[in-house]
Amino acid sequence: MSSEVERRLEALFAEAPEPDPGAGEEALHRALRTLHPAAPARRGLRTAVLAFAAAVVLLVIAAGSLAAAGALHVSFGVKTKPRATIRLVLPKGASGVAAIVDGRLSVVTNDGLGLQGRPVSAAALSPRALYVAAGIGDSLVAMAPDGRRAWSHPAGGKVVAIAWAPDGFRIAYVVHVGHRFVLRVIYGNGIHDTTIDRSVRPVRPSWRADSLAVAYVGGGGRAVVYDLGHLSRDIVGTSAPVTHLAFAPVGRRLLVATPDSAVLGGKTLATGEVEALGWFHGRPAAAFPGVTHAIVRSFGAGGQHVDAFAVPGTVVGFSGGLVVVHTPTRVLAGWREKTVGTLLTLQRRSAVEDVAIG
């Protein structure tokens, strides 16, 4: 990814929208409703109550602005136990790492910047790890890895999956709204939010290498490719329910997984329960769970089996030439049986929900 992408991303974020103008009015309304006495009071008491409400509003607005910028985490009336800080290690050659452990996000980049412990429901890194998009509350929020330069867009529900386009111009995300999951696409600066499909599965979308199409799993379980240029949809792959999908890093090949197979271009590459799917050294790859080790298999351009090796733990995903694996105590990045490095150390009961290397 060139410096041109960085320049264009910076330009996009410079156009980020201002906070919702109705936030102050809503905060005032709630504060007054909460503080309003149950019975008529004296004028002096009423004046004091209104003055206190106004002060609360100012504090709420100020705190909200800081929280949106990633500078402050606010929690009213809830006491939480301090959590151990997650120390991420950046693999050689990577621009950044983002991990969600026990529902909390940590990010580190090659600039040494990092978010630590922010509660999120999903996250994704932009190209070159210049920004991170995350589901926070009922909003999609984008921020720099140090927590600054954020925009926030109301999603109308919990964001459960996010994918940033390779060119950085768009973000695809899945939102849990009511009894359905909805796929939306928004510009990288938080404007022009568009609903693509109102009934999808909660599977992370995948962008084509040219950023002009995005693949997702429709409500019926089929893989769908949405072409942004032609505003068209194509159903591809197997009729069995799709559990994972991943576009090739170059070209238009789409790799999909069903509950019991990995499929490319309509051809079954391997059978068995697929726990992770992706592209390893530019080749389609899938990980299958074992008793003590996961088995990673990679395939050639024609679908022929090329390689297989075992890794300890559960495979989270693939990133270039790395396999990301987690064990009860560590998250590792490795190639074949050799461990390249420990990305982070875990507590025994930690739940690793996602790890992305950019």
Sketch the domain layout of the chain as residue ranges. 3-68
Instruction: Provide the β-strand partners of residue 319.
Output: 322
pTM, two decimals, is 0.77
Question: Is 225's pLDDT higher than 90?
Answer: yes
CA torsion 41-42-47-52 (nearest 10°) is: -50
d(CA 63, CA 71): 9
Q: What is the pLDDT of residue 82?
A: 39
**300/54: higher pLDDT:** 300
Average pLDDT score over the chain: 80
**205/68: higher pLDDT:** 205
What are the strands of the beta sheet with 338-345, ordered from one edge?
A: 314-319, 322-326, 330-335, 338-345
* pLDDT band (50, 70, 90) for residue 72: very low
Q: List phi, psi (to 5°) of 280.
A: -115, 115
Distances (CA, A) of 197 to 162, 175, 188, 212: 15, 11, 19, 17
In tens, the pLDDT along 178-205 reads: 999 999 999 999 999 999 999 999 999 9
CB atoms within 10 A of CB 177: 16
- Select from 232, 244, 242, 235 the least CA-distant residue to 278: 244
d(CA 164, CA 91): 21
d(CA 253, CA 223): 13
**What is the longest distance spanned by two Cα atoms in the chain?**
84
